[in-house]
Structure 1
Amino acid sequence: MAGGSRHYSNSTYRKLRIAKRAGLYAGVALVLVYMLFPYYWAIISSTKSREDLYSFSLLPSLDFSNYITLYHNPIFIGAIVNSAFVAFTSSVISLVISILAAYALGRMNFRFSRIILICVLMISVFPQVVVLSGMFEVIGWLGLYNRPTALVFSYLLLVLPFTTWVLTSFIRDLPQELEEAALIDGCSRLRILTHVLLPLMGPAIASTGLLAFILSWNEFLFALTFILTDENRTVPVAMGLLTGSSRYEYPFGQIMAASVTVTLPLLILVLIFQRKIVSGLTAGAVKG
């Protein structure tokens, strides 16, 4: 009886483990379907003709006329170039400034450093519409209106607080002994940053730089407000202004093709640098 009871308990425990594992896998599958199905639907919609768009089907039609029409649109191709320039430039400038600011806020003990860091965090959560009118006046005063440089300047307001906060938390987690040894050897603060700390900040720089690039690439409100001509527009605005062959036609297929085109490079970059993104953000969030 004891042996049979023990055997029954082991069998029940094994079934419970299998049921829990099956439930876990089912939950992961549901999350993946929920997250990936919209992008899959955009892919199959972009490969359907105008008539097939109104018939429900989970299989692509392999009609690439939407992509052909889109890639022959010089406004959309120019928008991709403009977005790449604006996103890359704003990300690089924000990283350079935030690295210097993060070292000052994370390593140098001066008055009001914590207050400054709190202000940086508060600025990062401000809605864009709050600063839109003020930025409009500043852009006009600088003479940058209707130029890609206006977006680079305005995107720093969105990207710089985020990169500064993450890199400051990461620098605080680096060993203090490395800097003390460099100071004893006669290194300056700038040399310590560039030759000692900067090589250790690879994961944090990769993660913040990529997320800053994505944030600048997807921005819509500033790009719609500060740019008026088609040749200077970025991808989000160009997608929103796509038109069909007539004023009553909604180019759903072309919009889906455009969304796939501009999202696929970002997905590839995230998949390539996913480990550095996770390690950089988690390392910077321990003491921040």
Structure 2
Amino acid sequence: MAVLTQERPGTTAAAPARRRSRRRGRSAPPGPWTWVAVAVVVLFVVLPILWMLDSSFKGPGSIGTTDILPHPLSTYNYVTAFGGNGSGDTSGRYILNSVIVAVCTTGLVLILGTLAGYALGRLPMRGKLLLLTVLLMISVFPAIAVIAPLFLIMKSINWLNSYQALILPYTAFNLPFAIWILRNYLMGIPREMEETGRIDGASPLRTLWSIILPQALPGLFTAGIFTFTACWTEFLMALSFNTDNNMRTIPVGLAQFGGQYSVPYGLYFATSCVAAIPIAVLVLVFRKSVVSGLTSGAVKG
């Protein structure tokens, strides 16, 4: 007697579909044209940096020549830029001003952004959507539209040519983006960890400091690096509010090097190389945390 087995409806038809789905889910290895495109993009990005570094070690008469490597190797541009030839420590002062402004702004943005992101992401409150919409509008608001009123305010309170004249506006313009990043990242942390702190009698601030923040370090690094970079490269407000040469930041200082009939390329290259070091170090050291913070904010918003 033949034994008949009854198959579940759709089993035979579903099996090939599942196999095709699995095959489609596997990523194909990159082809040769993909590597060619990657190489072109890398060269396009890296070659100007290498050219700037190479030219910074050339003497005044060697910049612009076809020599691939500087011969002889010269530190004239660095010595001149940082006051070794009696020109004054101009570039060093610009870098110091940028460091002070960027570090203070980043600290304020992280403190305020963490508190606001925690409140918007994990605490019950009304009007969250409206507040987030306002923050988004502020983050895309052009700075040039408020330069004139801000200048008048700074002048009326005698804040022109001071660090606070840049720190407070930079904080206001970078805070919305930091709040968005930190809110999205904090929302992805399991609430069971927060409930454990409440059971132990910890206050919301204590829970945030002891339990939530250690888990949110990638988001903090991401917001901090973006804020630091924005402050380090900002030009318009620094040009408008700090006109004293001793209070200028790197972007404005570089713009002041050139004269009407001469362009000191060597000073530009040397100062730009030194100014790029802090950003490069931050990105290299915290690159994994930045990627983690950005991807978390992208999928858990």
TM range (shorter): 0.7 to 0.9
Task: Tell me the distance in 1 between the aligned counterparts of 2:285 and 2:132.
Answer: 31
Unaligned runs of 5+ in 1: 1-16
Letter in 1 for 2:44: Y
- Does 2:164 correspond to 1:149? yes
Contact between 2:82 and 2:90, CA under 8 Å: does it hold in 1? no
Unaligned runs of 5+ in 2: 1-27
Instruction: State the 1:106 CA deviation.
Output: 0.6
- Does 2:137 correspond to 1:122? yes
* Equivalences for residues 189-268 of structure 1 within 5 A: 189-243=204-258, 248-268=261-281
> What is aligned with 1:106?
121
> What is aligned with 1:23?
33
Task: Tell me the distance in 1 between the aligned counterparts of 2:287 and 2:262.
Answer: 40
Q: State the structure with bigger RCO (CA 8 A, min sep 6), 1 or 2.
A: 1
Instruction: State the 1:239 CA deviation.
Output: 0.9
Task: Tell me the distance in 2 between the aligned counterparts of 1:32 and 1:220.
Answer: 27
Instruction: State the 1:28 CA deviation.
Output: 1.5
Letter in 1 for 2:75: F
In proportion to residue count, which structure has more helix? Answer: 1
Deviations for 1:147-179, whole angstroms, at most 9, x for unmatched residues?
111111111122111111100111111111222
Instruction: State the 1:104 CA deviation.
Output: 0.8
> What is aligned with 2:286?
273
Letter in 2 for 1:216: C
Task: Tell me the distance in 2 between the aligned counterparts of 1:48 and 1:277.
Answer: 35
Deviations for 1:47-91, whole angstroms, at most 9, x for unmatched residues?
222322232343334222111111114121111111101000000
> What is aligned with 2:62?
52
Instruction: State the 1:184 CA deviation.
Output: 2.8
> What is aligned with 1:70?
81
1:177 match: secondary structure:
helix
Taking structure 1 as the reference length, the TM-score comes to: 0.88
Instruction: State the 1:186 CA deviation.
Output: 2.1
Task: Tell me the distance in 2 between the aligned counterparts of 1:47 and 1:140.
Answer: 42
Letter in 1 for 2:65: S
Task: Tell me the distance in 2 between the aligned counterparts of 1:194 and 1:143.
Answer: 37
Task: Tell me the distance in 2 between the aligned counterparts of 1:132 and 1:31.
Answer: 36
Contact between 2:81 and 2:90, CA under 8 Å: does it hold in 1? no
Task: Tell me the distance in 1 between the aligned counterparts of 2:157 and 2:132.
Answer: 28
Taking structure 2 as the reference length, the TM-score comes to: 0.84
> What is aligned with 1:172?
187
* Greater Cα radius of gyration, structure 1 or 2: 2
Residue 137 of structure 1, aligned match among 152, 159, 171: 152
Deviations for 1:230-265, whole angstroms, at most 9, x for unmatched residues?
111111111110146xx5221011111111110123
Identity of aligned residues (%): 35
Instruction: Tell me: CA distance 1:111–1:254, structure 2 relative to 1, closer, same or farther (3 Å).
Output: same
Question: What is the CA RMSD across the aligned residues, in angstroms?
Answer: 1.7
